[in-house]
Structures are given as C-alpha cells and as structure tokens.
Amino acid sequence: MVRVRFAPSPTGNLHIGSVRTALFNWLYAKRVNGSYILRIEDTDLQRSTKEYEDNILAGLKWLGLEWDEGPGKEDSVRYRQTERIAQHVYVPFVEKLLEQDDAYYCYCTPEELEKEKALSAAQGLAPGYTGKCRNLTSEQSEQYKAEGRACAVRFRVKPEKIIVKDIIRGNVEFDTNLINDFVIQKADGSPAYNFAVVVDDIAMRITHVIRGEDHLPNTPKQIMLYNALSSNLPEFAHLPMILGPDKSKLSKRHGATSVVEYQEQGFLPEALINYLSLLGWSHPEGKEKMPVQEIINNFHIERISKSGAVFDVEKLRWMNGLYVRELPEEKLVKAVMPFLIRAYGSSVEEKSQEWLSEVIQSVRDNLTVLTDIVSATSVYFVAKPEYQPDFILKYLHDDLSKSIITDVINTFTSLSVYSEEVIKDYINALPVKYSCGKGKVLKPLRYAVSGQEHGPLFVKLLYLLGRETVVDRLKKALDL
C-alpha cells in the first residue's frame, strides 16, 4: 500500500511552497487509494511554536487536505518528533549504527569545529568536518569522557557513488567523497534532521517521499542511512521550485506567501487547490479549471515537470474569480457575509436576509476575491456617497443633468408603486423624453446616487436602495 507524508516544521505559518508539497502528496495518495500522513517535525525548539502548528493544521483543513494519520487522529503522539524523542524512539537506531561501526562518537567541541572551519577556509578548501574523531582509540575516548566532554554521534561515510532514482528527474548521481561524516545525534542527545527523517519514514512505512527539490542534496545522506539500517528505500520525487514572475525564488515581495493571507484576502480553497495543482503538473488534455476529483483522477507523478513553476498571483485571481462567480447563491452569501459584517457592522446586521442576498447577487459579476464585496456593495451601506470635484463638474453641473435629476426626484416621490418594473420602464423612457442618448441619462443619475461611475445594474441599484434613500441622495447631489 502506498504511504506518503507531509512533514512541516512549525517554525512559521503554512506557506504556498509547503502547501503545494502537501497537495501533491495528498493527490497521489487519493489517486492510488493510499494513506496520507501528517508528521510534525518540531525538533527546532527555539523556533517551533504551538501557534505555528495550529496555523499549519488549520490551513490544511481549510484547503480540504485532511490527513489519514497524524495530529488529532488516533495515536497522534507518535507523529510529533519531540514526543518521539521523549519516547526514545531514535535511540535503538543510533545504537545499531554504532554497533555496526557505521557511526562513531565525536567529542569535538563547537570551538574546535569552528577553528577547523576557519582553517579550511584559509586554505581555500570547502568547510567541513575533517574526521578528527573517526578513528579514536579506546584510550582517547576514555580521556575525553574523563574530561566531561559532551559527544555527538557521526555517521561514517564510505567512498561510493550514490544514485538517487528520482521519479521526476531520473537518476541523479552523488559522490560521497564530497560528503563529510555527518551528525546523526547531537551532543544533547536529540536526533539530527536527516537521521530523524529516515527513522520516522522507516517506522511509518513511507513508500514515496514527495518533496521540494531543495531536499535533493539531503537524499544521498538519507540513502546511506537507509542502507546502513537495512531498510528498503522509498521512491523519491523532488518537486520543482516555485518561482515568482521574475523567475526568482518565490518570496513575500511577489505577494502573499502564507495560506492564511490568501484566506483573509477572500480566495476560495477550491480555487487555490486548482491553481496550485498546476504548479509543476499539467492535465493530459491541457485543462486549467477543473474540480478536485478530476485532478485526482489524472494526477501522475510522471507528469510533473523538472522546470521551476511560476506562481502568478494575477492568474490565481483570475481563476478565483471563475470559482466565485459560479458559487450557488446561498454559498456566495455565506462566504461574503463575514467580510461585509467586518466592514459595515450593524449596517449589514440590520438588513433582511432577502435584501442582503439580492444586493450580493447584484454585484456577483464584479467579484474576483471575496473581499471585493466590500467595495462592490459600498453604495448600499455608506450613509453618504463621496463625490469628487472633477466628476461633479463632469456629471452634475450641466442643465440637462439637473433637469433629469429633478424629473426623477419628482416622479419617484409621487409613485404609488416603487418596483423594479416601474423603475425600469420610467428610466428607459427618459432618453426619448429628453432627446438624448442613454449615457446622458444614466451616467449623471448613477453618479448622483452612488458617487461612482460604475457599479451594479442601475435599475437594481435604485430598487434595492429604496425610494427614500434615492430621492434623498438625488436632492443632495443637486446642491453640490
């Protein structure tokens, strides 16, 4: 059975690069009916926080990337590295490597290691461990122990060629002569990253390791550990880097990078999932917009590109707009209400659900992200429109505009029935009455009522604002 994992470190909020990794693991597991495991790699005690972990879990849940095993599931303790350390999970594996002479104790102090590093740099050599403790005699070891020196454990790297068989990149060769003996257990007894990852993947029976290409240099070290621990290798797939439009590594200067930021900006999870699936992978028929089940059905690791994938926030906005405008009425109202309440408070809460629904539907086609609802509906909630001097001159000061506005005030005041149909028939008759084009009627009226040049369908706007509000705004516009 296929078992994949997403293993974030809770040292920051869930960001786009990590989400793409989580998504590709999840998609593959879904397609082959495998298991998707979430593991929290929280050994960086100084930077790891509960808040960041909560952010990661919440972001994955919001996106619908629910895990089969991990935090919140049965026996979740074993999916956090700190708790696995407390259970001494890693100790037997260290002891096995020591017994096999695949590892050794290193008594070098941090100061000594820094001196070695400086000496290598002065000689023009690549910085690295010289192997000082590689072949200590028992007497030397006893002397260091007597001095009370703390000791790390290093893996003994043997000269060989390591071939990483990568599903995406093909065979990638590494020469271990360029790899120093690396630490597998720190002096404080905690496991080093590469060692913990391998032990955890063995214990959790991970069959496929799907992760970013920045992890590729770690892979030969991990393969050496798998071999030394007599464990089968998982299959590896290293995903292409996510780039900004300028082809540099994606960063905050290219826009928001954390999932929570996109959620707060009003992006829909299904749109984000759809867009991120296309960062490196492509549908066999070249489709761009598709439901998640279609993505699952067509997701093959072999279709993932080696080239960097460009993250274009404008294309994401375009795709999000498609999803927003397709939302059923009830779902759209529910989705935008938090943004409206946050912006307009009691002005929203005092309105009827039916009226709010009509208002939201009237601006549906103007929405790209959910937060657009605030500016798109401002005309309905602000007490008084804001008029710009240039537009006052443009739309409200000529005699024709004043005559039309006065006509509307008088007519609306005297109407016995104020309905969409009555308003529509009356407005449509005005160009004929004043022998002018539609624009000469609609533009000054819209600006007088809303303080905006564009907005919802005008008849719908007049109807939803209500007779009293419309007449009041028109009267005030005449006095500008």
Q: Give me the active site residues, please.
A: 252
Q: 215 vs 204, 209, 212, 218, 406, CA distance in Å?
A: 19, 10, 6, 5, 71
CA 286/CA 122 separation, integer angstroms: 54
Residues 6+ apart with CB under 8 A from 393: none
DSSP string, 329-364: HHHHHHHHHHHHHHHHTHHHHTS-HHHHHHHHHHTG
| β-sheet bridge partners, residue 40 | 80
What 3-state class would DSSP assign to 475?
helix
CA 128/CA 444 separation, integer angstroms: 75
By the 8 A CB rule, do 447 and 395 touch?
yes
Helices (H), 327-466: 329-344, 346-349, 353-362, 372-376, 378-381, 389-395, 399-414, 420-433, 438-450, 458-465
CA 31/CA 48 separation, integer angstroms: 33
Helices (H), 147-205: 193-203
Report the b/e string of 10-46 with b at 16+ CB within 10 A. bebbbbbbbbbbbbbbbbbbbbbebbbbbbbbbbeee
CA 63/CA 36 separation, integer angstroms: 15
